[in-house]
């Protein structure tokens, strides 16, 4: 019996190593940076470092213009009541914003579509690795719906999990949808991404966003299986051979924070709800969700190792999904679970609805130094009434 257990442990370890090595470059070379020129003749996307860029100028409705300079801090947030319903109709007078505990003067305040005068810069990072094969076609069609519903001022770029820039920032919706279609063609031909989705996210933030992007947003669709490498595996290039490469999950979190990015994540393969017979239509948390999926897999899995295999699958799945969810929580976004391919359109619409129903405020920091240190942001309701504010809680000024 002990020998059998030892063999199972050894088998599990070999599987884990094979999975990690399979996802690492066979020749040990550095992962490729995006290294492409941004759309509309902007700064090179491959530059290792940039000086603060020019202010982003966005045309407001009725031919008005809002000019946003680089010092202005923009933060977006939602307000919900005790039952999770959005609270609307608030004004700047209802709120107080603090940076490092010091109250700031609110210079800009808006809600929903009224915020469109300040353009959004949206990067869609989409995982089309083989593990995502069931979701690629419907996710691409759902992303096309998202593209059609973007505001006229919005710009979008698309990046894949093999660290490839499909298209740089553009407002040309036909171009965006055409490039998305390529992912469907690739998957039909058996060509998939490399599961470097977090490396791709990190490269996107470092190389595509600049200080002129006041509303940087990432829509991140992935199962997050690269997290195992970042958390558990010391990569061959982790000793500094590759400038600009992603060395840890903490580095990714810091990059998102420095860019002021809000992450909306889509996690395929998990369901966020259980049947009314199980718990009266209540929502599952992430751990309950993975346990439910494990029970379903255990019922379908055949062979003497089924409990061992499913248990280890569930642990890895929970770890990866929690990492993705953590990125959204830390940046003030939300996570959505994509349980079945046919639900992709509904998931993307919920994300867009969340993006379009947020409050936006801007202020000039009383602390005008550019020391590059982390600063906290706290939006406070003067009469809280049990309402909950969800938005980013910190940022790092660009030097």
Q: If you search the block for the tokens 């442990």, which residue do you land on?
A: 9
Domain residues for the domain of 107 are 69-116+359-395
**C-alpha span between 283 and 200 (Å, rounded):** 31
- Tell me, what's the pLDDT at 155? 93
Domain identity same for 47 and 124: yes
CB 45 within 8 A of CB 37: yes
The more confident residue out of 319 and 308 is 319
**Residue 56 in domain:** no
Structure tokens at 271: 């369901």
Residue 1 lies in a domain: no
Evaluate whether residue 249 is within a structural domain: yes
Contacts of 260 (CB under 8 A, 6+ apart): 73, 74, 75, 214, 216, 392, 395
Q: Chain-wide mean pLDDT for the chain?
A: 75
Q: What is the mean pLDDT of residues 227-244?
A: 58
Q: Do both 101 and 163 map to the same domain?
A: no
Placement of tokens 């919920």 in the chain: 350
Tokens standing for residue 78: 């939602």
Residue 8 lies in a domain: no
Query: Angle, to 10 degrees, between the axis of helix 306-331 and the axis of helix 2-23?
Result: 40
7 within domain boundaries: no
User: Are 42 and 187 in the same domain?
Assistant: yes
Please check whether residues 95 and 136 belong to one and the same domain.
Answer: no
**What is the reported pTM?**
0.76
Q: Tell me the percentage of the chain whose pLDDT exceeds 70.
A: 67
Q: Is 259 in the same domain as 240?
A: yes
Q: Is 96 a residue whose pLDDT tops 50?
A: yes
**Which is nearest to 197 in space by CA: 176, 219, 235, 225?**
225
Q: How far is CA 59 from the centre of its chain?
A: 27
Q: Tell whether the torsion through CA atoms of 65, 66, 70 and 75 is positive or negative.
A: negative
The residue with tokens 């063999």 is 7
- 268 part of a folded domain: yes
Q: For the residues of 235-266, what is the DSSP string, one character each?
A: -TTTTTTSTT----HHHHHHHHHHHT-EEEEE
Q: Does position 67 have pLDDT exceeding 90, yes or no?
A: no
If pLDDT is split at 50, 70 and 90, which confidence band does 245 have? low
Same domain, 241 and 298: yes
Residue 99 CA, chain-centre distance (Å), reads 24
pLDDT > 90? residue 117? no
Q: Residue 53 pLDDT > 70, yes or no?
A: no
Mean pLDDT of 197-207: 90
CB-based contacts of 310, cutoff 8 Å, min separation 6: 294, 297, 298, 301
Q: What angle do the packed helices 306-331 and 286-300 form, to 10 degrees?
A: 150
Q: Of 41-50, 132-141, 285-294, which has the strongest mean pLDDT?
A: 132-141
CATH number of residue 298's parent domain: 3.40.50.410
pLDDT of 46 higher than 50: no
Q: Are residues 312 and 382 in the same domain?
A: no
Residue 372's pLDDT is what? 67
Same domain, 134 and 161: yes
Structural domain count of the chain: 2
Q: Is residue 312 part of a domain?
A: yes
Together in a domain, 191 and 272? yes
Tokens 């470097």 belong to: 196
For 99, the token pair is 């940076």
**Model confidence pLDDT, tens digit, residues 359-395:** 999 999 998 777 768 889 999 998 877 889 999 888 8
Distance CA 242, CA 313 (A): 32
**b (16+ CB within 10 A) / e for 329-354:** bebbbbbbbbbebebbbebbeebbeb
159 vs 127: CA distance, rounded Å: 9
Model confidence band, residue 39 (pLDDT cutoffs 50, 70, 90) = very low
Q: Is residue 16 part of a domain?
A: no
The whole-number average pLDDT for the span 157-164 is 91
Is 199 found in the same domain as 110?
no
For the record, the structure tokens of 283 come out as 């929502």
Q: From the CA atom positions of the chain, what is the Rg in Å?
A: 22
Q: What is the pLDDT of residues 273-290, one digit of tens each?
A: 333 333 333 344 555 555
d(CA 187, CA 162): 13
pLDDT of residue 384: 73
How many CA atoms within 13 Å lie on the side-chain side of 171? 10
Tell me how crowded residue 262 is: count the other CB atoms within 10 A of its CB: 26
Pair (348, 380) in one structural domain: no
Query: Are 221 and 341 in a shared domain?
Result: yes
How many whole angstroms separate alpha carbon 375 and alpha carbon 140?
A: 37
**Sorting pLDDT into bands at 50, 70 and 90, what band is 70?**
low
């Amino acid at each position: 019996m002990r020998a059998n257990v030892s063999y199972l442990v050894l088998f599990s370890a070999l599987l884990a190593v094979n999975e990690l090595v399979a996802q690492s470059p066979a020749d040990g070379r550095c992962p490729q940076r995006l290294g492409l020129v941004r759309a509309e003749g902007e700064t090179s996307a491959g530059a290792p470092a940039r000086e603060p860029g020019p202010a982003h100028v966005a045309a407001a409705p009725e031919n008005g213009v809002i000019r946003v300079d680089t010092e202005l801090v923009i933060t977006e947030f939602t307000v919900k009541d005790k039952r999770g319903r959005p609270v609307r109709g608030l004004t700047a007078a209802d709120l107080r914003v603090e940076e490092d505990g010091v109250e700031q003067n609110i210079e800009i305040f808006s809600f929903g579509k009224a915020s469109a005068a300040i353009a959004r810069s949206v990067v869609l990072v989409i995982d089309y690795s083989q593990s995502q094969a069931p979701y690629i076609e419907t996710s691409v069609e759902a992303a096309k719906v998202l593209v059609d519903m973007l505001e006229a001022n919005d710009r979008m770029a698309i990046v894949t999990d093999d660290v490839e820039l499909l298209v740089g920032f553009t407002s040309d919706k036909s171009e965006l949808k055409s490039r998305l279609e390529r992912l469907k063609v690739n998957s039909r031909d058996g060509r998939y991404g490399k599961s470097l989705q977090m490396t791709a996210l990190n490269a996107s933030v470092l190389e595509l966003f600049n200080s002129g992007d006041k509303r940087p947003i990432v829509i991140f669709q992935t199962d997050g299986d690269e997290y195992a490498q970042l958390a558990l595996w010391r990569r061959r290039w982790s000793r500094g051979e590759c400038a600009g490469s992603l060395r840890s999950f903490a580095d990714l979190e810091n990059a998102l924070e420095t860019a002021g990015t809000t992450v909306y994540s889509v996690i395929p393969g998990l369901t966020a709800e259980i049947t009314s017979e199980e718990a009266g239509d209540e929502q599952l948390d992430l751990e309950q969700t993975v346990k439910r999926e494990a029970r379903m897999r255990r019922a379908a899995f055949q062979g003497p190792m089924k409990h061992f295999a499913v248990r280890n699958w569930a642990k890895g799945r929970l770890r990866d999904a929690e990492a993705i969810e953590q990125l959204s929580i830390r940046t003030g976004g939300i996570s959505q679970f994509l349980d079945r391919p046919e639900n992709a359109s509904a998931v993307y619409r919920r994300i867009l609805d969340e993006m379009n129903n947020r409050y936006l405020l801007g202020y000039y920091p009383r602390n005008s130094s550019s020391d590059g240190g982390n600063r906290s942001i706290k939006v406070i309701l003067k009469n809280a009434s049990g309402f909950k504010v969800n938005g980013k809680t910190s940022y790092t000024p660009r030097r």
